[in-house]
Amino acid sequence: MAEQFWTKIEAGIAELVIENPPVNAMDSIGWRRFSQEIDRLNADDAVRVIVIRAEGKGFCAGVDIKELQKFPGRITEVNAGNWETFRAIHRGLKPVIAAAHGYILGGGIGICGSCDIVLCSPDATFGVPEVDRGALGAGAHLQRLFPLQKVRQMYFTGEPIDAMEAYRLGAVERVVPREELREAAMTLAGKIAAKSSIMIRLAKEALNGVEDGDLEKKYRWEQGFTAQAYLTNESQEARDAFVEKRDADFQSKKS
């Protein structure tokens, strides 16, 4: 099975790149391996900063809905891989910068919302279409990026917002032309990598400690509702409709 991402380490910076065409969605195995790679980079003394970016049309479309439509029981493994990925980014004691472009959906929101700093290109769109896919999740991480009522509007409607709105709301540090995005992220990472690694590790641990609430606990709470949703006929209909590229018919699928 082909890997769904790759890593390059140079000058103290680990560049972790999602590359899984056509939409950079990862399956249950991909998410689990992605989390393990982040843990490995956090444990590597040669790494001082991690940059997560992607190749292709967009940053990350989240989980592989086609896998879950065919094997609904894998939702627990997907949930575990997502949780471990976001935990590894957020709780790992090395700074993580997201350089995001195009669509940033579902699990892509979870990645960005777990990161310490987010840069994006003008074509970036942030969204959580979960309710239209028969699932839940990423609300905790969305709320780490955006104000509460904006989160609820995005969550209930499934409608994305663009890069400049995300910048206006303080979710991203900079909006950078697409062709300059990688360079901007690597330059920022280089500035951090030049600092004392001990001080940066302590700084991240301290900042995590003064955040409001427990991000991982809040996400675990959400995941319980995702599992509950997957027990309903309407969740299955939402996934079937998405894969079959048709409108969902919830009236005939009442649970």
Question: Confidence band (pLDDT; 50, 70, 90) for 102?
Answer: very high
**Are the beta carbons of 134 and 147 closer than 8 angstroms?**
no
**What is the reported pLDDT for 226?**
82
Asked whether residue 160 carries a pLDDT value surpassing 80, the answer given is yes
CB atoms within 10 A of CB 230: 20
Which tens digits make up the pLDDT trace of 30-69?
Answer: 999 999 999 999 999 999 999 999 999 999 999 998 898 8
How confident is the prediction for the chain on average, in pLDDT? Answer: 94
Q: Is the peptide bond before 22 cis (omega within 30 degrees of 0)?
A: yes
Q: What is the dihedral of CA 156, 162, 164, 168, to 10 degrees?
A: 10
Report all structural domains of the chain as residue ranges with CATH numbers, in order of start: 5-179+194-209 (3.90.226.10)
Question: Confidence band (pLDDT; 50, 70, 90) for 1?
Answer: low
Task: Identify the helix (H) or strand (E) that includes residue 202.
Answer: helix 197-209
What is the average per-residue pLDDT within 93-121? 97
User: What is the reported pTM?
Assistant: 0.92
**What is the reported pLDDT for 254?**
61
Which tens digits make up the pLDDT trace of 175-193?
Answer: 999 999 999 999 999 999 9
Exposed, middle or buried by CB within 10 Å (0-12, 13-18, 19+), for 213?
exposed
Q: Name the residue type at position 69.
A: Q
Cα(218)–Cα(138) distance, integer angstroms: 10
